[in-house]
């Protein structure tokens, strides 16, 4: 994916009204939990997906993608091992999940092949940066643009 396409994807992803994080746990030192905290700290509407926990970081969890209130309007951030990421990608088609951002380490050759074979490259970001690395710049740029659109000096 070119830099321009990647940035466009990231912007579309972060314009979502609802987010979900796969891979977070009670262990706040884990990257997935840090990703969940990133969304929470920015007051973004986020739901952690965890089959065994009722709550993470004070946010009520759901057990699976199918339990999301509006899966077709939810952008999914995956910070999990590749076989879990592959399962998410298979479910995204059935549930009409619009966008998935695979955080670094969530993909392998099998996952990438599945994305390509199923023509999901325009709906799945992989092989790139973490939302925590580039998300702030995109969000701040969007807010700046919305605030100052139409102003002239």
Q: Which residue has the tokens 């089959």?
A: 51
Q: What CATH number has the domain spanning 3-148?
A: 3.40.50.720
Q: The whole model's pTM is what?
A: 0.85
Contacts of residue 39, Cβ cutoff 8 Å, sequence gap at least 6: 19, 21, 46, 77
What is the pLDDT tens value at each position of the chain, 153 positions in all? Answer: 566 677 788 888 888 999 999 999 999 999 999 999 999 999 999 999 999 999 999 999 999 999 999 999 999 999 999 999 999 999 998 999 999 999 999 999 999 999 999 999 999 999 878 888 777 777 766 544 444 455 555
Whether the CB-CB separation of 79 and 24 falls below 8 Å is answered with yes
Query: What is d(CA 132, CA 100) in angstroms, rounded to the nearest whole number?
Result: 15
Query: What is d(CA 142, CA 140) in angstroms, rounded to the nearest whole number?
Result: 5
Q: Which residue has the tokens 């092989």?
A: 127
Domain ranges, ordered by start, for the chain: 3-148
């Amino acid at each position: 994916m070119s830099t321009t396409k990647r940035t466009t994807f990231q912007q579309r992803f972060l314009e979502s009204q609802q987010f979900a994080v796969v891979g977070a746990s009670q262990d706040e030192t884990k990257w997935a939990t840090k990703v969940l905290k990133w969304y929470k700290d920015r007051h973004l509407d986020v739901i952690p997906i965890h089959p065994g926990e009722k709550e993470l970081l004070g946010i009520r969890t759901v057990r699976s993608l199918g339990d999301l209130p509006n899966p077709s309007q939810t952008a999914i951030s995956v910070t999990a091992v590749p076989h879990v990421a592959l399962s998410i990608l298979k479910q995204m088609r059935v549930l009409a999940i619009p966008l998935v951002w695979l955080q670094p380490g969530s993909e392998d050759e099998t996952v990438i092949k599945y994305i390509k074979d199923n023509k999901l490259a325009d709906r799945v970001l992989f092989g790139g940066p973490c939302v925590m690395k580039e998300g702030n710049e995109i969000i701040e740029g969007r807010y700046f643009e919305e605030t100052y659109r139409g102003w002239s000096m």
